[in-house]
């Protein structure tokens, strides 16, 4: 399963190409300097692409280290989303040999999950300090560190299973009906490509929020409680209404 | 005989896993849509929570897929 073959070579080359292309796109978008008062078209495109992650990071950036959290978390989340999305979309290139998505190989998704979990620990260390991060692994639940291991497994297996399963399905259908039907499957495959990249990013964000703000009452909890109060003022929830 | 047995062992878990995962996903999506129609202003938050919940359910189904693939390689 883990031997070195042509499939692994294609996957590694594709992953490298995606990484280099993303870095080149980032360099091109920021070329020629940025302006706060008169943003050009390229700057607008870049800011539009990053806005979602900035909003996501702003949700967890409060307290004394606000700017640090915002900077670190935004770059981590944006990197994960863009890399996974670009990797998933490689499956839709209509060239037979090179269209293996890197995320359909377990080594790549395992590396991404390791980056997510250890990145969480590193950001937590940079923000809260090493001692508090280590304490968070064993307190209040002494087996808290086991959840980090299962996070690695579930993150990597989910991404791998989805993308590899979809790729295999299209390949099997292609062997039976080479015309027409694979096109529909490719179009449908765009949805899991987006959703899986989004899910990986959102889960990493929730791990980060958990690691950064586990010892304090976060703003999102308060807003959720407010929404709860608003709901109970209207009437019983649908589940209560049924029973 | 052994091959037939292995094939059954490979195929049955993914069938059962997919069936129960689809039931659980129906529950999640129904509740999320009910919540969104009752409270359209928090629809974005509900959608995010629904995606995360679905991902966690789907992970269990993916585990059975991995088991199936591992057994299918021995056929």
DSSP state at residue A38: S
Q: Residue A80: exposed, middle, or buried by beta-carbon count in 10 A (0-12, 13-18, 19+)?
A: buried
Contact A157 B66 (CB under 8 A): yes
Residue-wise pLDDT for A25-57, tens only, equals 888 887 777 777 877 888 888 888 888 888 888
CB contact under 8 A, A198 and B58: no
pTM of the model: 0.80
Mean pLDDT of the A68-83 span: 89
Q: CA nearest B62 in A: which residue?
A: A161
Distance CA(A13)–CA(A2), nearest Å, equals: 17
- Please answer yes or no on whether B34 and A238 come within 8 Å at the CB atom: yes
Among the partner residues B31, B48, B58, nearest to A158 by beta-carbon distance: B58
- Residue A213: both structure tokens together: 């703000």
Nearest CA to A123 out of A177, A172, A80, A68 is that of A68
* ipTM of the prediction: 0.75
Tell me how far the alpha carbon of residue A141 is from its chain's centroid: 27
Cross-chain Cβ contact B38/A234 below 8 Å: yes
Encode pLDDT of A159-190 as tens digits: 998 898 888 888 888 888 888 888 888 888 89
* Rounded distance between C-alpha atoms, residue A135 and residue A147, angstroms: 14
A202 to B73: CB separation less than 8 angstroms, yes or no: no
Q: What is the CA radius of gyration of chain B?
A: 17
Least confident of A76-80, A145-149, A230-234, B49-53: A230-234
Q: Which CATH superfamily is domain B2-69 in?
A: F1F0 ATP synthase subunit C (1.20.20.10)
> Å from B34 to nearest chain A CA?
7
B residues 12..41 contacting A (CB < 8 A):
31, 34-35, 38-39
**Is A132:A144 a contact under the CB 8 Å cutoff?**
no
């Amino acid at each position: 399963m883990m031997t070195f073959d042509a499939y692994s070579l294609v996957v590694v080359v594709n992953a490298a190409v995606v990484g280099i292309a993303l870095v080149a796109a980032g360099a091109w978008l920021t070329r020629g300097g940025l302006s706060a008062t008169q943003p050009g078209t390229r700057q607008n495109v870049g800011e539009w692409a990053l806005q979602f992650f900035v909003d996501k990071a702003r949700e967890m950036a409060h307290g004394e280290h606000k700017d640090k959290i915002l900077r670190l978390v935004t770059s981590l989340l944006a990197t994960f989303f863009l890399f996974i999305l670009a990797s998933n979309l490689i499956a839709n290139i209509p060239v037979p040999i090179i269209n293996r998505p890197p995320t359909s190989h377990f080594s790549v998704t395992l590396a991404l999950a390791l980056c997510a979990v250890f990145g969480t620990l590193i950001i937590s260390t940079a923000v809260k300090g090493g001692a508090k991060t280590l304490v968070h692994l064993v307190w209040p639940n002494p087996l808290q560190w086991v959840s980090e291991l299962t996070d690695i497994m579930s993150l990597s297996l989910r991404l791998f299973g989805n993308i590899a399963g979809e790729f295999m399905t299209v390949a099997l259908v292609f062997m039976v009906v080479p015309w027409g039907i694979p096109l529909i499957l490719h179009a449908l495959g765009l949805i899991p490509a987006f959703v899986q990249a989004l899910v990986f990013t959102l889960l990493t964000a929730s791990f980060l929020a958990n690691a950064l703000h586990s010892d304090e009452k976060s703003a999102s909890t308060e807003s959720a409680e407010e929404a709860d109060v608003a709901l109970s003022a209207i009437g019983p929830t649908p589940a209560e209404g049924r029973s | 005989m052994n091959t037939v047995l292995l094939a059954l062992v490979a195929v049955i878990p993914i069938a059962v896993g997919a069936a129960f995962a689809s039931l659980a996903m129906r529950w999640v999506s129904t509740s999320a849509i009910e919540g969104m129609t009752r409270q359209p202003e928090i629809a974005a938050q509900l959608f995010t929570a629904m995606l995360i919940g679905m991902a966690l359910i789907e992970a269990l189904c993916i585990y059975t897929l991995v088991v199936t693939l591992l057994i299918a390689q021995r056929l």
